[in-house]
Structure 1
């Protein structure tokens, strides 16, 4: 039988833990991206373990994930006496900085100008596939992509022109907001509201507890927001839960102010 949480913190951690993604290296990157993204920011091995272990991740798994992140060039480590400290490499900071605005934007600015790219099978499709790897493009069909701003200079295999949306059929809304993404938004929104109801006053939450809960929120939000397209309101169904989920994320983060790194070792 599953053991019931004994404290508000254990209950919040269980509620906020992503039920679909417990890849430890990814959780660690969510933590660094939230708390230690600036040059000179370091998390000691002790603080890292004390933040992550309350969500059921064992020290061995943390060590394996850190080894992978060091090997892949995302994180580096240094020793000071008998202690170790971990920090983002230049590469890791740059990659984190690329997606940080999407995580922490409270009210996304929706572009007003749009363009279409259309490809034929063959080299044109390959060129379009490369464009779709960027966050600026949304796939309307296998060989059609919608992008923000005026039409750019593209390869000769692609057709491009500026467009204005005058009608958005339901099949486009379904592609922009698939059912599984809507369900992830609702599930996260519900978890955030449940956790918010359990939080004690701010002065009773320790820096380590704050760091753990922020890590769980950011990690789960990251998997949702990176799939949410920056499209005009007409592209979303009337019951789209994205805005409510976003608001719930920031309401809870505001109640859990980012702790100073020095507090995580002193706690």
Structure 2
């Protein structure tokens, strides 16, 4: 390695260590990120040896990987296959659909389609309300919730009423601040920006590029999918979500050439190596081109 390469590698290692100290990983969650970022757009199946090797780069032991994979199998997200002495794990159909939908949110352009009110019917009101809350809705009363219209509420028994944004932006922001506690999401975006800002200047080796891209996706997924993703007109001034999305898009593109080359070099299935690029990976990069607000 040249002196410059050594310096970049040391800086990248320090950044990875700091991110892991500030926001520790859980094995199952990071394996979900590996499947979502690397495996799902390349056919949905991976050798457990590749999972073990990749997780080792962020300090997750082989024992923890095998335990987490077993739990994901028990939860119906993965299914195991054997070829000779090697074990491979494939995404279930339902998990594949879920991961593809999440990728649309992470890589696609921000949605801003107005609002919807959901009136819950039936007996299981609390279960329905919790499901709506997890999808970004706020509870107004026992059976009524409100949320951004881009969220699908078809899984909840009830009536959905679409609503346009009011013309008074201050009234809308006051309404949003009354029903959503946005401070935690704002802080999470700021932490993400502080952790990854400056990464685009680093010239790291392919293995490190993949590790850093996985951490980037994992952290942005954690922050962004928990955000109710309200229409921009309802958000406070200087909302950091837009800056976080721009940084995510920039860094993902910056890291992808080396990261994808490393995937093609190291990741295997029973039928051969995973490809560096597929229609699915290209589509994600295309979505990122148009996703920055």
- Take 2:104 and 2:163, find their aligned partners in 1: how far apart are those partners? 26
SS in 2 for 1:77: strand
Q: Per-residue CA shift, 1:20-43, capped at 9, x if unaligned?
A: 452211110111100110473432
Residues 173 and 235 in structure 2, CA contact (< 8 A), matched pair in contact too: no
Classify 1:209/1:264 alpha carbon distance in 2 versus 1 (closer, same or farther; 3 Å): farther
Deviation at 1:194, TM superposition (A): 4.0
Residues 116 and 160 in structure 2, CA contact (< 8 A), matched pair in contact too: no
Residues 177 and 236 in structure 1, CA contact (< 8 A), matched pair in contact too: no
SS in 2 for 1:7: helix
Deviation at 1:119, TM superposition (A): 6.6
Q: Show the counterpart of 1:210.
A: 209
The count of residues paired between Structure 1 and Structure 2 equals 251
Q: Which has the higher contact order (CA 8 A, sep 6+)?
A: 1
SS in 1 for 2:146: strand
- Single out whichever of 220-229 and 38-47 deviates more from structure 2: 38-47
Higher helix share: 2
Q: Show the counterpart of 1:88.
A: 91
Unaligned runs of 5+ in 1: none
Question: What is the aligned counterpart of 2:80 among 74, 77, 82?
Answer: 77
TM superposition score normalised by structure 2: 0.72
- Take 2:69 and 2:40, find their aligned partners in 1: how far apart are those partners? 16
Deviation at 1:104, TM superposition (A): 1.1
- The answer to whether 1:26 aligns with 2:52 is no
- The answer to whether 1:224 aligns with 2:223 is yes
Q: Show the counterpart of 2:182.
A: 178
Q: Show the counterpart of 2:273.
A: none
TM superposition score normalised by structure 1: 0.78
Residues 51 and 209 in structure 1, CA contact (< 8 A), matched pair in contact too: no
- Take 1:53 and 1:127, find their aligned partners in 2: how far apart are those partners? 38
Question: Over the residues paired in the alignment, what is the CA RMSD in angstroms?
Answer: 3.4
- Take 2:45 and 2:29, find their aligned partners in 1: how far apart are those partners? 18
- Take 1:27 and 1:156, find their aligned partners in 2: how far apart are those partners? 33
Q: Show the counterpart of 2:106.
A: 103
